[in-house]
Amino acid sequence: MPEHPRRSGARGSDGSGRRRHSSPLRVSVRDACEADLDQIAAIWNHEALWTDSTTDTEPRDEATQREWLARHPEPYPAIVAVAGKHVVGYGSLSPYRPKPAFAQTVEDSVYIEGGHRGAGLGGLILAELVRRAIAADHHSIMARITSRNTASLRLHERHGFRTVGVERQTAFKLGRWHDVTIMQRRLDARARTSNAH
């Protein structure tokens, strides 16, 4: 399985609240495995409980994480970006809808550990998910993103996604209503050419 080494200028806190550059990371992307689940859960649970980057609100325990991984065989991979043995981000493709008519449409998820955002890891993971979706002969990738999550909106736009709709005030989390932006990247031959970057 291919790995994608990347030198990442990750950032961290120096304890004063200011951001500082840490030494570059040697990052590779691979399939997620059971040994990664605790670290994936730590990233997920922070986002679910404390941020509006996802509309999900429930933390995951060990059993839930194992069930999550079991739902991601090919052609719905779960992948991790790792620096050594440390998971600094992860992503996955999931069925967009359970009905057979939607079998070739998937939805992506990308999450980066807080201290490593802004270092290009989201792009590394999303590019690999797009590559996997094309290899699996999916027709479209959908992304449902809270509209205040401008970093994720920009990330998807850079990777050929286009906004196809906005759900107004459909998610209530952390004491406020959220709009949800729906983005799409088509993967048929014509769209693959026009989305090339």
In this prediction, residue 192 carries a pLDDT of 52
In this prediction, residue 105 carries a pLDDT of 97
Percent composition of the chain: helix, strand, coil (DSSP 3-state, to 5): 30, 35, 35
Region label for 169, one of left (φ > 0), alpha (ψ between -120 and 50) or beta (otherwise): left
pLDDT tens track of the chain, all 197 residues?
444 444 443 333 333 333 334 446 789 999 999 999 999 999 999 999 999 989 999 999 999 999 999 999 989 999 999 999 999 999 999 999 999 999 999 999 999 998 777 778 999 999 999 999 999 999 999 999 999 999 999 999 999 999 999 999 999 999 999 999 999 999 975 555 555 44
Place of tokens 């807080």: 114
Architecture of the domain delimited by 6-194: 3-Layer(aba) Sandwich (3.40)
Q: Please tell me the distance from the alpha carbon of residue 4 to that of residue 94, in angstroms, as a whole number.
A: 22
In this prediction, residue 190 carries a pLDDT of 53
Determine the 3-state secondary structure of 190 from DSSP: helix
Report phi then psi at 7, rounded to 5.
-85, 120
The two tokens of residue 123 are 């792009």
The two tokens of residue 102 are 């939607």
Place of tokens 């065989």: 73
In this prediction, residue 151 carries a pLDDT of 94
- The whole model's pTM is what? 0.83
